[in-house]
């Protein structure tokens, strides 16, 4: 049996969505950072007038409470992703971090280079995810997760498929499409394309260039959609 993609990849040293130690975990698609929410309004001060205290009722004879039936503990949600299938150069996984269903297609680069050359080492990793979280009504969200380095602050990454280019905003070790309205077109181009080149700049100023095969992505996403309806 062919080993899964994750079993062939070294564990990431980047921030993951699971709380357990990184070395014990399979990479999981990073969620897009949420916008800050306004603070909840403070409750109005209570009225100065206080109602008169009610006359206490005569105490009733206390009855012993019936012992509650012991309930079996609910099984813990699976945090370790389970392999749904292998499709060309992509794998499909399902997990339930925090009890919330998550399914994703995952791939690693077919080739990686840097500019200037030879600036990459074995500790540097890159994964691309296309994930769905039905509880949040998120479907086919594309994200990049890197390890061993961080993106340079205030810089964009880019994904090139044929003649189509999609800017991606970065945050530390993650990247997401900059224009959310373009995500469906982005995923459609990935489904129909042969390969995709992702470029980003590290916090040291090195350009990282990762080329991904898109072979099998369409089938992997079909399996993800079947699992995370």
* Per-residue burial over 103-132, b = 16 or more CB atoms within 10 Å of its CB, e = otherwise: bbbbbbbeebebeeeebbeeebbbbbbbbb
Residue 75: phi and psi, rounded to 5, are -65, 140
Contact 142, 43 (CB under 8 A): no
Please give the DSSP secondary-structure letter assigned to residue 29. Answer: P
Tell me the whole-structure pTM to 2 decimals. 0.70
**Nearest in space to 92 (alpha carbons), one of 213, 223, 225, 226:** 223
Domain contains 199? yes
Q: What is the per-residue pLDDT for 2?
A: 40
Domain count, the chain: 1
> Would 35 be classed as within a structural domain?
no
Q: Which domain holds residue 139?
A: 75-227
Whether residue 25 contacts residue 147, with contact meaning beta carbons closer than 8 Å, is answered with no
- Whether 52 is covered by a domain: the verdict is no
17-26 pLDDT, tens digit each: 432 333 334 5
Name the pLDDT band for 34 (thresholds 50, 70, 90): low
Q: What is the pLDDT of residue 113?
A: 96
Q: Is residue 12 part of a domain?
A: no
Domain-embedded: residue 215: yes
- Assigned domain for 188 exists: yes
Domain-embedded: residue 29: no
> Is the pLDDT reported for residue 103 higher than 60?
yes
Tens of pLDDT, residues 116-162: 999 999 899 999 999 999 999 999 999 999 999 999 999 999 999 99
In the prediction, which pLDDT does 211 show? Answer: 98
In a domain, 20, yes or no: no
């Amino acid at each position: 049996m062919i080993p899964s993609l994750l079993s062939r990849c070294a564990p990431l040293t980047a921030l993951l969505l699971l709380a357990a130690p990184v070395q014990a975990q399979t990479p999981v698609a990073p969620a897009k950072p949420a916008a800050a929410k306004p603070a909840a309004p403070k409750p109005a001060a209570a009225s100065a007038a206080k109602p008169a205290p009610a006359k206490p009722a005569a105490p009733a004879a206390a009855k012993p409470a019936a012992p509650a039936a012991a309930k079996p503990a609910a099984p813990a949600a699976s945090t370790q992703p389970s392999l749904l299938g292998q499709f060309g150069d992509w794998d499909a996984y399902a997990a339930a971090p925090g009890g919330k269903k998550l399914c994703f297609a995952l791939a690693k680069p077919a080739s990686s280079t840097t500019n200037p050359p030879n600036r990459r080492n074995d500790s540097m990793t890159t994964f691309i995810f296309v994930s769905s979280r039905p509880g949040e009504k998120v479907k086919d969200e594309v994200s990049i997760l890197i390890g061993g380095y961080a993106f340079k602050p205030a810089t964009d990454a880019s994904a090139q498929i044929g003649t189509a280019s999609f800017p991606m905003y970065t945050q530390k070790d993650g990247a997401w499409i900059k224009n959310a309205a373009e995500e469906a077109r982005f995923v459609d181009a990935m489904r129909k394309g042969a390969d995709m080149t992702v470029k980003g700049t590290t916090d040291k100023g090195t350009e990282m260039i990762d080329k991904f095969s898109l072979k099998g992505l369409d089938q992997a996403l079909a399996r993800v959609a079947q699992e995370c309806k």
